[in-house]
Protein backbone atom coordinates (compact mmCIF):
# COMPACT_ATOMS: atom_id res chain seq x y z
CA UNK A 1 0.00 0.00 0.00
CA UNK A 2 1.41 3.35 -1.06
CA UNK A 3 1.05 6.80 0.38
CA UNK A 4 -0.35 9.20 -2.14
CA UNK A 5 -1.51 12.78 -1.92
CA UNK A 6 -5.19 11.89 -2.35
CA UNK A 7 -4.98 9.26 0.35
CA UNK A 8 -3.38 11.40 3.03
CA UNK A 9 -5.61 14.39 2.33
CA UNK A 10 -8.75 12.27 2.61
CA UNK A 11 -7.47 10.49 5.70
CA UNK A 12 -6.71 13.82 7.41
CA UNK A 13 -10.11 15.17 6.51
CA UNK A 14 -11.85 12.18 8.09
CA UNK A 15 -9.53 12.18 11.10
CA UNK A 16 -10.16 15.83 11.86
CA UNK A 17 -13.92 15.63 11.46
CA UNK A 18 -16.08 15.17 14.55
CA UNK A 19 -18.80 13.58 12.44
CA UNK A 20 -18.81 10.80 9.86
CA UNK A 21 -18.51 11.98 6.25
CA UNK A 22 -20.16 10.74 3.07
CA UNK A 23 -18.44 10.37 -0.28
CA UNK A 24 -20.28 13.47 -1.50
CA UNK A 25 -19.16 15.51 1.49
CA UNK A 26 -15.57 14.38 1.03
CA UNK A 27 -15.73 15.27 -2.64
CA UNK A 28 -17.04 18.75 -1.81
CA UNK A 29 -14.43 19.29 0.91
CA UNK A 30 -11.50 18.23 -1.27
CA UNK A 31 -12.80 19.98 -4.38
CA UNK A 32 -10.56 19.22 -7.33
CA UNK A 33 -8.07 17.13 -5.37
CA UNK A 34 -8.75 14.03 -7.42
CA UNK A 35 -11.32 12.18 -9.46
CA UNK A 36 -14.45 10.93 -7.68
CA UNK A 37 -13.52 7.35 -8.59
CA UNK A 38 -10.23 7.85 -6.78
CA UNK A 39 -12.14 8.93 -3.67
CA UNK A 40 -14.11 5.67 -3.76
CA UNK A 41 -10.90 3.70 -4.17
CA UNK A 42 -9.06 5.59 -1.43
CA UNK A 43 -11.97 5.05 0.97
CA UNK A 44 -11.94 1.32 0.21
CA UNK A 45 -8.23 1.23 0.93
CA UNK A 46 -8.57 3.14 4.21
CA UNK A 47 -11.28 0.71 5.33
CA UNK A 48 -9.13 -2.27 4.32
CA UNK A 49 -6.22 -0.86 6.30
CA UNK A 50 -8.51 -0.40 9.31
CA UNK A 51 -7.85 3.35 9.49
CA UNK A 52 -11.45 4.24 8.85
CA UNK A 53 -14.78 2.52 9.33
CA UNK A 54 -17.82 2.52 7.11
CA UNK A 55 -21.26 3.33 8.50
CA UNK A 56 -24.55 2.64 6.74
CA UNK A 57 -26.89 5.28 8.08
CA UNK A 58 -30.60 4.70 8.74
CA UNK A 59 -31.43 6.51 5.50
CA UNK A 60 -29.01 4.27 3.59
CA UNK A 61 -26.37 6.96 3.15
CA UNK A 62 -22.84 5.57 3.49
CA UNK A 63 -20.52 7.52 5.77
CA UNK A 64 -16.92 7.13 6.88
CA UNK A 65 -15.42 7.86 10.27
CA UNK A 66 -12.04 7.64 11.90
CA UNK A 67 -11.21 4.66 14.08
CA UNK A 68 -10.31 6.87 17.04
CA UNK A 69 -10.68 4.31 19.75
CA UNK A 70 -9.29 1.34 17.85
CA UNK A 71 -5.79 0.22 18.71
CA UNK A 72 -6.09 -2.75 16.39
CA UNK A 73 -5.88 -1.48 12.82
CA UNK A 74 -6.37 -4.71 10.93
CA UNK A 75 -9.28 -4.71 8.52
CA UNK A 76 -11.22 -7.29 10.48
CA UNK A 77 -11.35 -5.42 13.80
CA UNK A 78 -14.81 -5.02 15.23
CA UNK A 79 -16.66 -1.78 15.81
CA UNK A 80 -18.95 -2.59 18.67
CA UNK A 81 -20.10 0.93 19.32
CA UNK A 82 -23.31 2.84 18.74
CA UNK A 83 -23.72 5.56 16.13
CA UNK A 84 -26.02 8.53 16.51
CA UNK A 85 -27.74 10.02 13.49
CA UNK A 86 -29.27 13.47 13.91
CA UNK A 87 -32.51 13.90 12.00
CA UNK A 88 -32.13 17.68 11.93
CA UNK A 89 -28.50 18.44 11.03
CA UNK A 90 -27.91 15.01 9.46
CA UNK A 91 -24.70 14.49 11.39
CA UNK A 92 -23.56 10.97 12.24
CA UNK A 93 -21.41 10.55 15.33
CA UNK A 94 -19.63 7.58 16.91
CA UNK A 95 -20.66 7.04 20.54
CA UNK A 96 -17.63 4.94 21.33
CA UNK A 97 -18.32 4.68 25.04
CA UNK A 98 -21.81 3.22 24.82
CA UNK A 99 -21.96 -0.59 24.79
CA UNK A 100 -25.43 -2.07 24.45
CA UNK A 101 -26.58 -5.18 26.28
CA UNK A 102 -28.89 -7.72 24.63
CA UNK A 103 -29.81 -11.37 24.85
CA UNK A 104 -30.15 -13.34 21.64
CA UNK A 105 -31.85 -16.69 21.18
CA UNK A 106 -29.17 -19.39 21.03
CA UNK A 107 -28.08 -20.76 17.67
CA UNK A 108 -27.41 -17.27 16.33
CA UNK A 109 -23.69 -16.64 15.86
CA UNK A 110 -22.98 -12.93 15.96
CA UNK A 111 -19.85 -11.55 14.31
CA UNK A 112 -20.80 -7.94 13.61
CA UNK A 113 -22.98 -5.26 15.08
CA UNK A 114 -24.61 -2.28 13.43
CA UNK A 115 -26.46 -0.07 15.84
CA UNK A 116 -27.66 3.43 14.98
CA UNK A 117 -29.91 5.62 17.06
CA UNK A 118 -31.71 8.53 15.43
CA UNK A 119 -33.16 11.67 16.93
CA UNK A 120 -31.73 15.01 17.93
CA UNK A 121 -28.07 15.53 18.73
CA UNK A 122 -26.96 17.78 21.64
CA UNK A 123 -26.54 20.75 19.27
CA UNK A 124 -30.00 20.36 17.80
CA UNK A 125 -32.10 19.51 20.85
Partner DNA sequence: TTTCATCTTGCAACAGAGTTGCGAATATAG
Partner DNA sequence: CTATATTCGCAACTCTGTTGCAAGATGAAA
Termini Cα distance of the chain = 43
Q: To 10 degrees, the CA torsion angle through 38, 48, 17, 60? A: 80
Q: Which of 8, 58, 69, 72 binds its own copies (CB under 8 A)?
A: 58
**DSSP class of residue 1?**
-
**DSSP class of residue 105?**
P
Count of chain residues binding DNA (CB under 7 A) = 21
Residue 87 in the binding site for DNA (CB under 7 A): no
Q: Which of 7, 53, 79, 81 binds DNA (CB under 7 A)?
A: 7
Residue placing its CB nearer to its own copies in the complex, 2 or 107: 107
Between CA 71 and CA 108 the distance in angstroms is 28
User: Cβ of 6: how many Cβ atoms within 10 Å?
Assistant: 17
Residue 57 in the binding site for DNA (CB under 7 A): no
Q: Which of 44, 59, 72, 99 binds DNA (CB under 7 A)?
A: 44
Residue 98 in the binding site for its own copies (CB under 8 A): yes
Give me the residues that bind Zn ion (CB under 5 A), please.
Answer: 86, 88-89, 121, 124
Amino acid sequence: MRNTNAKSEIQNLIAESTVALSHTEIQAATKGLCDRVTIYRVLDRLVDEGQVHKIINVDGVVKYANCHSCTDHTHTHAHAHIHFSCQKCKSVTCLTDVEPIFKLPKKYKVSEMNFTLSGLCPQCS
